[in-house]
Structure 1
Amino acid sequence: MKIVLLDGYELNQDLDWSALEPLGNVTLYDRTTVDNHSEILEKISDAEIVITHKTPLNADILNQTTHLKYIGIMGTGYDIVDIDTAHQNNIIVTNIPTYASDAVAQFTFSLLLEVTGQVGLHNQLVHKGKWSDGPDFTFWEKPLFELKDKTLGLIGYGHIAQRVAEIAHAFSMTVIFYNHRPKQVDNDWAKQVSFDELLKHSDVISLHVIQTPETINLINQKTISKMKNSVIVLNTARGKLINESDMANALNHNQVYALATDVVQTEPIDHNNPLLKANNCYITPHIAWAPLETRKRLLDITIENLRSYLENKPVNVI
């Protein structure tokens, strides 16, 4: 049985895939050109098992594979695989739903604390001599904010959002959330509201929904117009949830106070992405999932998903 890992660089550099080897004949690639269908097909043409992180497997590719029986997605989101076509071709697809919940929740608050506390900026200024050259015992270059009593609005209320809510509650924030269907809440401090209510009342909005046709460009000129001008928007979900031109325009015209995002529509980021020149915009290179412990968990569950499939007991099936 041939197993092909299309893009394992982010794990290959410091983790060990040896546990995969007893399961079949394994070929590991660091990278695969995501928009080169010929390259993808060449690598997987005789594979029964394909593991992918960010290499897309669309309908055209899936319809040209004759051996493929199983696709393991190394992540929570599954928009990189045409699920309907996979099902039509009797290909089982699995993902890893909760491996990074704690890491992404932690990073969501790292972004928020950077915006509100400006630790990075002031650390740099101190090292450049601005404090030692100044006349006062203190200085601050940008406004600083308390989180206590601010309202955090969560769009989506899955595992990650619920962890973010718990952290927000510890900071004495008011927590509201919108979910596309009613969600059972096991506490008395998180309140489910309508989408428009969330946009209107939130001081901080954090995105935690998957990418679907309905959620692409969810944050756009129209929805931004319903937010407070002082709002901070956080995105650790998917870049395509935000219309980047509309957001850049809103940042530059003081309709949004700040955007802090770990994801963008095209990754790696395009040199011409309007967010790069937008005011008060914080961008990190899709690293919320990347702590060593988190990636080790990802690797272990990827292998366990495959092992369960081979034992005819598939888990985490989409």
Structure 2
Amino acid sequence: MTSPRLVFLDRGTLSPATRLRRPAFDHDVVVHDRTAPDQVAGRIAGASIVITNKVRIGAEALDAAPDLRLIAVAATGIDVVDLAACAARGITVCNIRDYARHTVPEHTFALIFALRRSLLAYADAVRAGRWQAAGQFCFFDHPIRDLAGSRLGIIGDGALGRAVGRIGTALGLDVVFAAHKGRNVAGPQGMGPLYTDFDRVLETADILTLHAPLIEPGPHGPGTRHMIGRPEFARMARRPLLINTARGGLVDETALVEALEAGQISGAGFDVATAEPPAPDHPLMRIAQRPDVIVTPHVAWAAEEAIQTLADQLIDLIEAFMAGRPRNVVAGPGAGS
């Protein structure tokens, strides 16, 4: 009997220090550091199992892989895979869950602290000689604000959003979770009795942080793409910080630039972009040098401990699938498992 062929399309998206054990069944494995869009079909042809992190797998590429049984996404976000096409072809798709419950909330608050206290701006000023030029023991070139007593608005109440909420509560923030528009229902356990109206959160938050998936508009609703755009920025009466460690497409980035320039928000901390890496003329690159902006290269998830947890869970999922016990299934046979 021929051993199943396993193909990893983008091993380079995991840290070189990450230990990726071999699955405990007979198999052939091919590992690619990166895969360009025009290489996908050729590389998955003949594969039984494909691992992808950020390489897109669409219907045309799937047509070249009649033996494919499983796509294991080495991330939580599954927008890189055509789920409908996989379901139609009987291909199971599974993803990684709950591996970033510490690293993303910690990165979120690293951005919040750095921006509220202008840490990078002051560090840059010291390097430029401003302290000596000040002629006294301190200087006040950039704003500094405490967190305690401020309102933290959270959009997205999954594991990461709730973890951010717990940290915010411990720090003395007034934590509110935004409802879907038109809804006002029971909130996350331990985080208060009700969600707060979406527009009300925009209007009253001192800090807004995004932890929602990127969902394209469709028959089931408007989706989440550009959920923060010009109309939403116009409602931000308290000039909040905007933090995005979720997906770049959640925010209209051109509107973000306009909002900063118009003073509708007081700063932005972004770990994600609509195009990664962004081109030099991308909207985020236009504002990355501002003292009230921090852009990090999609590394909120990338604590060593988190990546190792991801890698271990990835192999666990593949072994479970081969043992007939699929887990974390988002499409195809076994969906809901």
Query: Normalising by the residue count of structure 2, what TM-score does the alignment of the two structures yield?
Result: 0.89
Matched, 1:57 2:57: yes
> What is the identity, as a one-letter code, of the residue corresponding to 1:307?
E
Contact (CA 8 Å) 1:151, 1:174: kept in 2 or not? yes
User: Which position in structure 2 is the counterpart of 1:14?
Assistant: 17
- The one of 303, 324, 331 aligned to 1:291: 303
Deviates more, 1:172-181 or 1:110-119: 172-181
> What is the identity, as a one-letter code, of the residue corresponding to 1:24?
H
Mapped to 1, the partners of 2:27 and 2:191 lie a distance apart of 50
Identity of aligned residues (%): 29
- Give the C-alpha shift of residue 281 in structure 1: 2.5
| Equivalent residue runs for 1:218-257 within 5 Å | 218-257=227-266
User: Which position in structure 1 is the counterpart of 2:335?
Assistant: none
Contact (CA 8 Å) 1:74, 1:302: kept in 2 or not? yes
Matched, 1:277 2:286: yes
Matched, 1:208 2:211: yes
> What is the identity, as a one-letter code, of the residue corresponding to 1:227?
M
User: Which position in structure 2 is the counterpart of 1:310?
Assistant: 322
Mapped to 1, the partners of 2:188 and 2:277 lie a distance apart of 37
> What is the identity, as a one-letter code, of the residue corresponding to 2:14?
L
Query: Normalising by the residue count of structure 1, what TM-score does the alignment of the two structures yield?
Result: 0.94
Change (3 A) 1:166 1:188: closer
- Give the C-alpha shift of residue 188 in structure 1: 5.6
> What is the identity, as a one-letter code, of the residue corresponding to 2:198?
F
User: Which position in structure 2 is the counterpart of 1:172?
Assistant: 172
> What is the identity, as a one-letter code, of the residue corresponding to 2:206?
D
Q: Higher RCO, 1 or 2 (CA under 8 Å, sep at least 6)?
A: 2
Contact (CA 8 Å) 1:12, 1:30: kept in 2 or not? no
C-alpha distance after superposition, 1:93-123 (max 9, x if no partner) = 0001211121101101111111111223323
Contact (CA 8 Å) 1:108, 1:236: kept in 2 or not? yes
Matched, 1:3 2:6: yes
Mapped to 1, the partners of 2:171 and 2:19 lie a distance apart of 38
Q: Which ranges of structure 2 fall in alignment gaps of 5 or more residues?
A: 217-222, 331-337
Matched, 1:217 2:226: yes
Provide the alpha-carbon RMSD of the alignment.
1.7
Matched, 1:159 2:162: no
Contact (CA 8 Å) 1:48, 1:70: kept in 2 or not? yes
SS in 2 for 1:13: coil
SS in 2 for 1:153: strand
Change (3 A) 1:45 1:183: farther
C-alpha distance after superposition, 1:148-180 (max 9, x if no partner) = 111111111000000000111111110111244
Deviates more, 1:267-276 or 1:283-292: 267-276
Change (3 A) 1:80 1:169: same
User: Which position in structure 1 is the counterpart of 2:189?
Assistant: 186
Q: Which runs of 4 or more aligned residues in structure 1 lie more than 6 Å from their structure 2 counterparts after TM superposition?
A: none
Q: Which ranges of structure 1 fall in alignment gaps of 5 or more residues?
A: none
Mapped to 2, the partners of 1:88 and 1:2 lie a distance apart of 22
SS in 2 for 1:101: coil
Change (3 A) 1:191 1:297: same
C-alpha distance after superposition, 1:222-252 (max 9, x if no partner) = 1111112521111000000111111111111
Deviates more, 1:178-187 or 1:224-233: 178-187
- Give the C-alpha shift of residue 133 in structure 1: 4.2
User: Which position in structure 2 is the counterpart of 1:109?
Assistant: 109
SS in 2 for 1:144: coil
> What is the identity, as a one-letter code, of the residue corresponding to 2:114?
E
> What is the identity, as a one-letter code, of the residue corresponding to 1:117?
R
Change (3 A) 1:15 1:22: farther
> What is the identity, as a one-letter code, of the residue corresponding to 2:171?
F
Mapped to 2, the partners of 1:282 and 1:137 lie a distance apart of 27
User: Which position in structure 2 is the counterpart of 1:25?
Assistant: 28
- Give the length in aligned residue pairs: 315
Deviates more, 1:90-99 or 1:135-144: 135-144
> What is the identity, as a one-letter code, of the residue corresponding to 1:250?
A
SS in 1 for 2:329: coil
Mapped to 2, the partners of 1:174 and 1:18 lie a distance apart of 44
Contact (CA 8 Å) 1:122, 1:140: kept in 2 or not? no
Contact (CA 8 Å) 1:169, 1:175: kept in 2 or not? yes
Change (3 A) 1:288 1:212: same
Mapped to 2, the partners of 1:52 and 1:297 lie a distance apart of 16
C-alpha distance after superposition, 1:154-209 (max 9, x if no partner) = 11100000000011111111011124474543226474112111111111111111
C-alpha distance after superposition, 1:59-95 (max 9, x if no partner) = 2222332111000001111111111111111001000
